[in-house]
Amino acid sequence: MQEDAYLKCVDPNCGLEYPIENTNVQCEKGHLLDVKYKNKPSSTLKEVFYKRRNSEGSIFNESGVWRFRELLNFCQIDTENIDECSKYLVSLDGAEGRQSKPYHMSKAAEFIGISSDNVWLQPEGYNPSGSFKDNGMATAVTHAKMVGAKKIVCASTGNTSASAGMFAANEGINCDVYIPAGQIAPGKLSQAYQFGAQIVEVDGNFDDALKQSLDDAQNHDGYTVNSVNPFRIEGQKTIPFRALEYLNWEVPDWIVYPGGALGNTSSCGKALMELYEWGWIKKIPRIAVINSEGASTLSDLYNGKFEGEELRWNKGNPNTELISRYYDHLDKEGIRPKTKATAIQIGRPANILKGLRALEFTNGVSTTVTDSEMLDGMSVVGLNGFDCEMASGASVVGIRKLISEEIIKKDDVVVGILTGRQKDAMIPVDYHRNPENRFSNPPKN
């Protein structure tokens, strides 16, 4: 095996490096890590990826994640050797990412106020566990298996626990899911229960649950699969890879995501940085991150709404004191993230620094939308025959808002990511029962 892949601290002033087998999610000074590759993959691989769409019986070609395995080859295997793929790469029988690609949705385009030819929406909810998380879980659990982990660990109230539980069950390893005691409706964890995960209740809030899960992972031989894990980010790079491939590698002007823990923003930024560095793309799409109004940490800090300073990556010298003061302010005022779009109900985005790096590289923007707007976005996606959760509606109405503000131009090409499938049956029911909602279709009698 060649030593091509390694881990490196994201802070350019620190830059500590570790072998790829390292399982700490931070450097010893507490900074996040990146997976780095020494080799530059040749752009002739575009042809290989295209051919693999005819899978010829290989689940690793069928997989929307592993089809791009040369661009995330941290296992450093011979990617054409099927035995090596089978030995190392973890897959839900090729199903992760298999059904996700960008679509035109005419009713959504009309609502957004853009030509249907110019806007693409990519549903990630058709992944096996129902959200984009399966992209990154395939790679994180691959690394867990590579280092011999017997148990994966996460803090989650929904999509992450579902995905982790599903992969753990498939691989025959244990999975612990940490939640704040008494604060989570049991229904939100139904998939985790179904897949046999062990629920661990922690006194405190979600941040406390995450902290304890990280501590326990470190002290009791667990392997953390929250998005602070750099290998999660590797798998999530395939979301923009698939979008770009379906656009024949003609780079859109914008890629738009809902903003929660900012793992997607981080992975999209890393994917674009690598493709640009490798000479695969000449133009860099701008990333737009859409926060909920009730959980708007990134938008507040990025747009200078706290202390008047616009927080930036600043070439690796972000003002982390400003972030700390913002969190202190939230604590002091008793402000909790509050939105019905629970997938992005996050006050302290774990990947904020990687997210800022992505926004700086892509000249990105961040804005907020209301719960009622997200419900409209979710509902109009439904009218095109696609199912998505409320947080995904943020991408649709975020594009709409940025067009109305003339930040996105009407002739720009835009890809919006729909991160997950509907998991709360009552949200659309309640929406449609209320005749005042824009797209509602109340029952007749």
Q: Which lies closer to Zn ion via its Cβ, residue 27 or residue 394?
A: 27
Sheet of 5-9, strands arranged across: 17-19, 5-9, 33-37
Rounded to a whole number of angstroms, the minimum distance from the CB of residue 27 to Zn ion is: 3
Choose the binding region for Zn ion from 10-18, 192-200, 288-296, 382-390 (rule: CB under 5 A). Answer: 10-18
Site for Zn ion in 282-301 (CB under 5 A): none
Q: Which lies closer to Zn ion via its Cβ, residue 32 or residue 408?
A: 32
Rounded to a whole number of angstroms, the minimum distance from the CB of residue 30 to Zn ion is: 7
Cβ atoms of 396 and 108 closer than 8 Å: yes
Rounded to a whole number of angstroms, the minimum distance from the CB of residue 68 to Zn ion is: 28
Structure tokens at 134: 């399966």
Site for Zn ion in 363-422 (CB under 5 A): none
List 6, 7, 8, 11, residue binding Zn ion (CB under 5 A): 11
Rounded to a whole number of angstroms, the minimum distance from the CB of residue 311 to Zn ion is: 19
Q: What angle do CA 26, 169, 167 make, to 5 degrees?
A: 45
Choose the binding region for Zn ion from 6-14, 84-92, 403-411, 412-420 (rule: CB under 5 A). Answer: 6-14
d(CA 320, CA 290): 22
Rounded to a whole number of angstroms, the minimum distance from the CB of residue 319 to Zn ion is: 17
14 touching Zn ion, by CB under 5 A: yes
Rounded to a whole number of angstroms, the minimum distance from the CB of residue 7 to Zn ion is: 11
Q: Which lies closer to Zn ion via its Cβ, residue 18 or residue 103?
A: 18
Q: Select from 135, 103, 424 the least CA-distant residue to 268.
A: 135
Q: Which lies closer to Zn ion via its Cβ, residue 9 or residue 413?
A: 9
Cβ atoms of 377 and 341 closer than 8 Å: no
Site for Zn ion in 174-213 (CB under 5 A): none
Choose the binding region for Zn ion from 15-23, 163-171, 232-240, 330-338 (rule: CB under 5 A). Answer: 15-23
List 5, 9, 374, 388, residue binding Zn ion (CB under 5 A): 9
Choose the binding region for Zn ion from 13-21, 147-155, 161-169, 305-313 (rule: CB under 5 A). Answer: 13-21
Rounded to a whole number of angstroms, the minimum distance from the CB of residue 229 to Zn ion is: 16
Q: Which lies closer to Zn ion via its Cβ, residue 10 or residue 256?
A: 10
Cβ atoms of 193 and 218 closer than 8 Å: no
3-state secondary structure 129-155: CCECHHHHHHHHHHHHHHCCCCEEEEE
Structure tokens at 235: 């798998």
Structure tokens at 163: 């995905």
Q: Which lies closer to Zn ion via its Cβ, residue 212 or residue 224?
A: 224
Distant-in-sequence, close-in-space partners of 436: CB < 8 Å, separation ≥ 6:
none
Burial code of 384-409, b = ≥16 C-beta within 10 A, e = fewer?
Answer: eebbbbbbbbbbbbbbbbbbeeeebe
Q: Which lies closer to Zn ion via its Cβ, residue 9 or residue 295?
A: 9
Cβ atoms of 177 and 189 closer than 8 Å: yes
Q: Contacts with Zn ion: how many residues (CB under 5 A)?
A: 7
Q: For the purposes of burial, counting CB atoms within 10 Å of the CB of 383, is it exposed (0-12), middle (13-18) or buried (19 or more)? A: middle
Q: x/- binding map, residues 21-50, to Zn ion, per CB under 5 A?
A: ------x-x-x-------------------
Rounded to a whole number of angstroms, the minimum distance from the CB of residue 185 to Zn ion is: 38
d(CA 358, CA 174): 33
**Is residue 358 within a helix (H) or strand (E), and if so which, with residue range?**
helix 352-362
Rounded to a whole number of angstroms, the minimum distance from the CB of residue 37 to Zn ion is: 19
Give residues in contact with Zn ion (CB under 5 A): 9, 11, 14, 16, 27, 29, 31
